[in-house]
C-alpha cells in the first residue's frame, strides 16, 4: 500500500514546486528503522528540495515489491543484499544497484549467553534455526567456506520459542532486531555473531533503479541518491523524531523502543557509516567488491562460473563523491565520532 502522507505534504508544500517529479520508492520490508534514512529524507524535505515528490510503498512478508521496478510502477527499490541484483542480471532485467546504504549486512547468528555456544567455532557444531531464504543464500557460503553442516539446520518460521527452549541451539537474525526480542524474552543479552565479521562481504539496503533512468534521467537518480544520503546521516546522528513518526504510522507493529535499539545497533556495528563510506560518503559502492562477492557466491555454488557479468549489477557513478560528509561533521563532532 502507499502510505498516506497528506499532512506531511501540506507541511512541505512551499518546498515542492508544482512541477515536482513524482517518484515511488518501493521497500523490501515493512517500515522500520533499518530504512529510516529514506523516511528522514522525506520528513526533512530533502527530496522536495531537489524537486522530487516521493511516495514510499512498504513491503512485508506477503508483499514482493521487486516486480514494480522493471515495469515502471516504482522508480527505486530497496534490495536486501547483492544476490537479487545478480539474479536480475542473469534474467536480463535492466536494473542496477546505484548505492549501498549498509556497508555491512546486519545478518547474524545468535546463541544463548548462558549456553554452550560461545564462539564462531562452536556455532559450526550447533543446531541452527534457519529460514528457507537463508538456506538457499548465505548458508551455502557458511557450508562451503565456513564448515557449517546442513544436517544441523532446523526450520525457522521467525518463532523464537524453539530457540529459547534449547540452550545449545543458534538462530539466524538481524543484529538490529532479534537480539532485543531475545533479551526481552529471556532477560539475558545473547551472543551475536555478525556474518560480516567472518567474511560475508555483501552490501545491504541497496538502492536499485532502472537502466533507462540511469541513461535518460541521471539527474533524477543523482538527486534521489544525494537526498537519501543526507537523510541517512540525519537519521543516525540527528533529530529523527519526524521520520520515526512516519515509520510508526506505516508499521503498527513497530515500537519506539525497537527504533531506539535498532539505531543504536546500526551505530554500534557500523552498518551504515563505515569502511568506504567514511571517505566516500554513506551509500558508497565499490564495483570490485561487488565482483568479489559474486565470485564468493559462485564458489559457494549459488551461481555457475561465467553465467553472468557481475559488473552489470551495479553502477557507482552516483556515489563515492563525499556527499553528506559536511553534514556528518556538523551532527557528530570529532570527540563523539564512533
C-alpha cell at 34: 533499518
Helix or strand (DSSP H, E) at 192: strand 191-194
Residue 109 has pLDDT above 60, yes or no: yes
Residue 230, classed as helix, strand or coil, is helix
DSSP 3-state percent helix, strand, coil across the chain (nearest 5):
45, 15, 40
Report the b/e string of 306-322 with b at 16+ CB within 10 A.
eebebebbbbbebbbbe
Residue 133 has pLDDT above 90, yes or no: no
Cβ neighbourhood burial of 64 (10 Å; 0-12, 13-18, 19+)? exposed
Q: How far is CA 158 from the centre of its chain?
A: 19
Residue 146 has pLDDT above 90, yes or no: yes
Confidence label for 19 from pLDDT (cuts 50, 70 and 90): confident
Q: Which of 11-20, 90-99, 150-159 has the lowest mean pLDDT?
A: 11-20
Q: What is the mean pLDDT of residues 107-120?
A: 98
Question: Residue 333's pLDDT is what?
Answer: 75
Residue 2 has pLDDT above 70, yes or no: no
Residue 172, classed as helix, strand or coil, is strand
Report the b/e string of 279-299 with b at 16+ CB within 10 A.
ebbbbbbbeebbeebbebbbe
Residue 6 has pLDDT above 70, yes or no: no
Strands across the sheet with 128-130, in order?
153-155, 128-130, 170-174, 107-111, 191-194
Confidence label for 338 from pLDDT (cuts 50, 70 and 90): low
What are the E-state strand segments in 37-152? 52-57, 76-79, 95-102, 107-111, 128-130
| Sign of the torsion formed by the C-alpha atoms of 270, 274, 277 and 279 | positive
Residue ranges and CATH numbers for the domains of the chain are: 6-104+202-336 (3.40.190.10), 107-198 (3.40.190.10)
Answering whether pTM is above 0.75, one says yes
What are the distances in angstroms from CA 64 to CA 69, 70, 183?
Answer: 11, 13, 30
Residue 311 per-residue DSSP state: G
Residue of 209, 129, 208, 219 lying closest to 168 (CA atoms): 129
Question: Residue 5's pLDDT is what?
Answer: 42
Residues in the chain: 338
Amino acid at each position: 500500500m502507499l502510505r498516506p502522507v497528506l499532512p506531511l505534504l501540506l507541511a512541505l508544500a512551499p518546498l515542492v514546486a508544482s512541477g515536482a517529479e513524482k517518484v515511488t520508492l518501493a521497500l523490501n520490508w515493512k517500515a522500520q528503522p533499518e530504512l529510516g534514512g529514506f523516511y528522514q529524507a522525506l520528513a526533512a524535505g530533502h527530496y522536495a528540495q531537489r524537486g522530487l515528490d516521493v511516495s514510499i510503498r512498504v513491503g512485508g512478508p506477503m508483499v514482493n515489491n521487486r516486480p514494480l521496478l522493471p515495469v515502471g510502477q516504482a522508480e527505486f527499490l530497496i534490495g536486501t543484499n547483492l544476490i537479487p541484483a545478480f539474479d536480475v542480471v542473469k534474467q536480463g532485467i535492466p536494473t542496477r544497484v546505484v548505492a549501498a546504504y549498509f556497508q555491512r549486512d546486519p545478518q547474524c547468528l545468535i546463541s544463548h549467553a548462558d549456553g554452550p555456544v560461545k564462539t564462531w567455532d562452536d556455532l559450526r557444531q550447533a543446531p541452527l534455526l534457519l529460514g528457507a531464504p537463508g538456506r538457499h543464500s548465505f548458508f551455502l557460503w557458511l557450508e562451503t567456506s565456513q564448515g557449517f553442516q546442513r544436517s544441523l539446520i532446523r526450520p525457522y518460521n521467525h518463532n523464537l520459542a524453539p530457540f529459547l527452549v534449547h540452550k545449545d541451539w543458534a538462530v539466524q537474525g538481524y543484529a538490529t532486531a532479534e537480539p532485543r526480542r531475545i533479551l526481552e524474552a529471556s532477560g539475558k543479552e545473547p551472543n551475536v555473531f555478525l556474518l560480516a565479521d567472518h567474511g560475508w562481504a555483501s552490501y545491504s539496503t541497496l538502492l536499485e533503479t532502472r537502466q533507462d533512468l540511469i541513461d535518460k534521467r541521471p539527474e533524477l537518480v543523482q538527486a534521489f541518491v544525494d537526498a537519501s544520503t543526507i537523510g541517512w546521516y540525519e537519521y543516525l546522528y540527528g533529530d529523527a523524531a519526524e521520520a520515526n513518526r512516519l515509520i510508526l504510522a506505516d508499521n503498527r507493529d513497530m515500537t519506539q523502543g525497537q527504533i531506539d535499539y535498532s539505531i543504536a545497533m546500526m551505530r554500534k556495528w557500523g552498518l551504515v557509516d563505515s569502511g568506504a563510506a567514511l571517505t566516500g560518503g554513506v551509500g558508497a559502492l565499490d564495483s570490485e567488491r561487488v565482483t568479489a562477492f559474486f565470485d564468493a557466491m559462485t564458489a559457494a555454488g549459488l551461481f555457475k562460473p561465467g553465467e553472468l557479468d557481475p559488473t552489470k549489477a551495479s553502477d557507482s557513478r552516483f556515489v563515492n563523491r563525499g556527499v553528506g560528509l559536511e553534514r556528518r561533521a556538523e551532527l557528530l563532532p570529532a570527540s563523539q565520532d564512533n
